[in-house]
Structure 1
Amino acid sequence: MSKKQTAVNLFWFRRDLRLDDNAGLYHALKQGAPVIPIFIFDRNILDQLEEKADRRVSFIREALVGMQEQLEKLGSSLEVHYGTPAEVFTQLIDKYPVQRVYTNHDYEPYARERDQAMSELFNDHGISFHTYKDQVIFEKGEVVKDDGKPYTVFTPYSKRWKATLTEFYLQSYPTKEYHKHFYQQSPRRIPSLASMGFKETDHDFPAKTVREELLSKYQEQRDYPAIHGTSHLGVHLRFGTISIRKLATKAKEANETFLNELIWRDFYHAILWHFPQVGKGHAFKPEYEQIRWRNNEQEFERWCQGQTGYPIVDAGMRELNTTGFMHNRVRMIVASFLAKHLLIDWRWGEAYFAEKLLDFDLAANNGGWQWAAGSGCDAAPYFRVFNPHLQTQKFDPDLKYIRKWVPELEELTYAKPIVVHEEARKRCLEAYAKALKK
């Protein structure tokens, strides 16, 4: 196809699947030239997914369909491609007279390498590349110590985060004012899941809204998995189908505990930015690399399938396998159980969660796993070993959550405990102490 004469700009959607309050999209539209919105189903990522009925791919496609409906009303269309970014942009540059490419920051190791490569590709073609902060409130070096070094403990980070926060950082980007600058074209087809080698999954995704009642009772109810006491907004934050600025504004007004959860998210993204090695399989605390893990494959499989004989652990894993979600309190319990009761490398669990979680986010998932294993920043001390029985008594005393996911709880068919808690705790402390020379 021959190039059209009118110069255009591209906006590259990634972790920001919305037209509203989108920083990079706002700047692209405001520039004035026609903006072609694009999304790439990145084969560098998708080809690594062994599970072809992947809820996340379904979620992304559903979000794209929703944006496409909005764009059609504006006389425009998404261009959705399946391939590697290098392949797709080479085709787009050949097809259109592209002046600028806009997008929003991504802080993961692969994303940073990809964006560097794309920047070089664009530069070779005389195209400028513009990226903006959008998925967090504070990034990179915006919240650091007085000496410019990054925080590695959450509490002082959160205090500085709150002290730094002004209305400026929560302002929405009025993208709607510039909708007229979307490139005008007929609707383009979005690739089907089947055409990319994926299968349909259930479309029972969490709502985008957060109930006022939930916010008002968040602090009291968030640790009880039988209660719908958490927002379930993780997937929407992960893929940017909601604005972090709007959510933080609501949290700031309604509930500080909920706001702290959003600050944890910024904190883990900051850790990943300043210490990218944690996203590449390394312990934050190097001395934890010396732990001699047992790595029993049969026990790992029983953990994965929810057959450990520890009901709260099994309930959590079955919820994850069935729905792609696991309650945050239970995530801590099952992670601690794998790393400490079974002495299985936390990276095995991290990878399993990465495969199964609908709201999988590298920064938060890695932060949570290293916290549970003791190897991360501001982590649980190595000698803290969650007792699943006590956790059950505290947070599921009536066994409502457990009975939902482990209906055979009182039957003879239920799995026998894979380890004895007291023995497992002793073994864990010995292994950790030996590695850390305590």
Structure 2
Amino acid sequence: MKSLIWFRQDLRLADNLAVCEAFALAKTELANFDKSTCPQVEALYIVSPKQWQSHDVAPIQIDFIERHLNILAQGLAALGVKLTVVTLPWFDDVMDWLPNFLTDNQIDQVFATQEPEFNERKRDQQLLDIGLPITFVAQDCIINAGEVKNLSGQMYKVFTPFSKKWRQIASSKMIAPLHVPAPIGPAIAEPDPIVFETDHFTKKVSSNLWRAGEGEAKRILDYFCQQHIQDYQLERDFPALDNTSKLSPYLAIGVISAKQCLATALSYYPEALVDDTSPAKTWINELAWREFYRHLLVAFPRLSKGKSFNEKGDDVQWVNDDVQFAAWCEGRTGFPIIDAAMRQLNQTGWMHNRLRMVVASFLTKHLLIDWRWGERYFRQKLIDGDLAANNGGWQWSAGTGCDAQPYFRVFNPMNQSSKFDPDASFIKHYVPELAQQSLKLIHQPLFIEQSEIRFNEDDLFGNVAPQDKVTNQAYPSPIVEHSAARKRAIEVLSALKR
């Protein structure tokens, strides 16, 4: 019997149930065959460029996927398994292609990991409906979607009770990641390099700032748990400090699993799921947030379709100013903490989590721009793009989501700046034109009606002659005034009152 592993958002060999199930099936049949003609395992990855573009998958994430497919192909080859990479523009194209592939390669059984997104689940159901022999294994979460329920048997709509129940269930389970299975046969030849056909992608952005490979992801996880997890609660909100795990790009495409993350944290802090004083609790809570949003995506499919969780979000009268949106995207709003965060995103494909909340609040509340605009821009840029987390975070910030930030809570970017980047070292790194400015001016930028005016600190305080003004590189004054913007936001977003 020949089995096929269909890789998706699980580009790893360790703790991969689909891999283990395929190998187990083949080895069960092994005794009935001569070793020279023993059952085989093959592997498949489908590149869907048109579908990815419609889902706004970031070019930097596509590059990251390509790099990891090359590493995965080598790992599979060492286990005696060939990886086939095929390009099918749309998910619908799989319907016609996959049955023929299974027949041509004499595949008896397919193993693949369930995915929570609506289009992916629809595709998989259609494949089952036409009778293909596919087993979809649940492993994208530590606790499977649908298993964390309230007393009414429903999905929680508030994170805190969800997290308590999630921790209770997790503490009762054996959190033991699966090992890489033993080879199914002799190693096969070194695979050819995998290069995505550039005709299908408008551009390619290098992901080389991020090291690739399962081993590298595990090293990052181990180092974080050894050195930083105990200080995570105190230091996680300071973007200038390198004290977050930075595992999100690897989790997003499944190079490492959430179960591996939890198991490693528990190896250092075994009581972290049941002890509220554990140093690891705050970081483990981030894993619970990830699961909360993924469970919501399954329970409420409309979240995959650009719909507000709170239906009153449809009544919000967004301003949607194109010029202000462009300023936000490009990091030239005149609020240094906002601009530094957006430039970090544009330059690296990643943004510190505290800053994701701050810039999302600024876009949706200070500028009154629809959260979907920001969600899409993030998805087009993020190396760790993930629909569940991205949608959940944006709707939380806008006040339209499940267990969302209240509409009347508007982050003050000046306070966020002075509190979480007090010496402005993060800001000065990404907004170098402010390197010589005082902390007072950086944290409390002055609002000037003519936003095109260029300034330096002396200019603002009237200490230099006109001919000596504008000696620094241009930096805009704030595009909105905080107090007025806050007042407007509360008035307009009051439509979200439940």
> Which of the residues 146, 151, 154 maps onto 2:159?
154
Which residue of the other structure, out of 8, 11, 35, is the alignment partner of 2:2?
Answer: 8
Matched to 1:187, the amino acid is: P
The CA distance in 1 between the partners of 2:482 and 2:475, in whole Å, is 18
User: How far apart, CA to CA, are the structure 1 residues paired with 2:192 and 2:108?
Assistant: 22
Distance 1:229 1:426 in 2: 35
1:220 to 234, 246, 258: 234
The answer to whether residue 432 in structure 2 is matched with residue 418 in structure 1 is no
Look up the SS of the partner of 1:217 in the other structure.
helix
Corresponding residue for residue 54 of structure 1: 59
Q: Is the 8 A contact 1:303 1:338 kept in 2?
A: yes
CA contact 1:107–1:273 (8 Å) conserved in 2: yes
* Structure with larger Rg: 2
2:244 to 230, 235, 243: 230
Q: CA deviation at 1:186?
A: 7.3
CA drift at 1:118: 2.0
Per the TM alignment, residue 246 of structure 1 is displaced from its structure 2 partner at its CA by 1.6
Q: Please report how far the alpha carbon of residue 289 of structure 1 lies from its aligned counterpart in structure 2 after TM superposition.
A: 1.3
SS in 2 for 1:335: helix
Greater displacement, 84-93 / 144-153: 84-93
Structure 1 position 270, deviation (Å): 0.8
Indicate conservation of the 8 Å contact 2:310/2:400, yes or no: yes
Contact residue 341 and residue 359 of structure 2 kept, 8 A: yes
Q: Alpha-carbon deviation of 1:106?
A: 0.2
SS for the counterpart of 1:377 is coil
User: Aligned ranges for residues 266-345 of structure 1 at < 5 Å?
Assistant: 266-345=291-370
Deviation at 1:96, TM superposition (A): 1.4
Q: Distance in 2 between matches of 1:160 and 1:406?
A: 43
Q: Which secondary structure state, in structure 1, belongs to the residue aligned with residue 388 of structure 2? A: helix
Which residue pairs with 1:17 in the alignment? 11
Judged with a 3 Å threshold, the aligned counterparts in structure 2 of structure 1 residues 43 and 169 are, in CA distance, closer, same or farther, namely farther
Distance 1:50 1:160 in 2: 34
1:237 is aligned with what amino acid? L
Tell me which of 354, 373, 383 is aligned to 1:348.
373
The one of 107, 111, 127 equivalent to 1:102 is 111
CA deviation map 1:166-210 (0-9, x unaligned): 464522223424x31699677355244536445362412155122
Offset of residue 93 of structure 1: 2.3
Distance, in Å, in 2 between the alignment partners of 1:267 and 1:46 is: 24
Is contact 2:349-2:381 (8 Å) kept? yes
Query: 1: distance between equivalents of 2:82 and 2:393?
Result: 38
What is the CA–CA distance in structure 1 between the aligned matches of 2:306 and 2:55, rounded to whole Å?
A: 18
Matched residue of 1:101: which SS?
Answer: strand
Distance 2:423 2:124 in 1: 50
Query: RMSD over aligned Cα, in angstroms?
Result: 2.1
The question of whether the paired residues in 2 share the 8 Å contact of 1:79 and 1:188 is answered with no
- Report 1:240-251 matches (<5 A): 240-251=254-265
| Cα deviation 1:34-81 (Å, max 9, x = unaligned) | 211111112342343789x81111111111111112222233321111
How far 1:267 moved relative to its partner?
0.4
Letter in 2 for 1:93: L
Is the deviation greater in 183-192 or in 66-75? 183-192
| Aligned: 1:81 with 2:86 | yes
Instruction: Measure how far apart 1:243 and its partner are.
Output: 2.4
Deviations 1:113-153 (A, max 9, x none): 111122234x1xxx421011212101221111122111011
Q: Distance in 2 between matches of 1:366 and 1:169?
A: 30
**Is 1:205 aligned with 2:196?**
no
The Cα offsets for residues 229-272 of structure 1, whole Å up to 9 and x where unpaired, read as 11110011111101221211122344111100000000000111
> Quick one: structure 1 residues 108 and 93, their matched pair in 2 at CA, closer, same or farther if it must change by over 3 Å?
same
Q: State yes or no: 1:142 paired with 2:147.
A: yes
**Which residues of structure 2 form unaligned runs of 5+?**
27-38, 270-279, 438-455, 457-469
Q: Give the percent of matched residue pairs that are identical in Structure 1 and Structure 2.
A: 39
Q: In structure 2, what residue type is equivalent to 1:404?
A: H
Query: What is the aligned counterpart of 1:111 among 102, 120, 123?
Result: 120
Instruction: Report the 3-state secondary structure (helix = DSSP H, G, I; strand = E; otherwise coil) of the residue aligned with 1:359.
Output: coil
Tell me the distance in 2 between the aligned counterparts of 1:107 and 1:169: 23
- Specify the SS of the correspondent of 1:39: strand
Paired residue secondary structure (1:140): coil
Q: Distance in 1 between matches of 2:496 and 2:382?
A: 32
Number of residue pairs aligned between Structure 1 and Structure 2: 425
Distance (Å, rounded) in 2 between the aligned partners of 1:388 and 1:13: 42
Structure 2 residue 194 is the aligned partner of structure 1 residue 180: no
Match of 1:429 in 2: 490
Q: Which amino acid aligns with 1:294?
A: V
Q: Which residue of 2 aligns with 1:366?
A: 391
Show the counterpart of 2:194: 190
- 1:408-431 superposed Cα distances (whole Å, 9 cap, x missing partner): 124451111000000000111111
Whether the 8 Å contact between 1:295 and 1:344 is mirrored in structure 2 is: yes
Inter-CA distance 159–270: structure 2 relative to 1 (3 Å threshold): same
In structure 1, the partner of 2:424 is 399
Q: Does 1:379 align with 2:384?
A: no
When the two structures are superposed, what TM-score results if normalisation uses the length of structure 2? Answer: 0.81
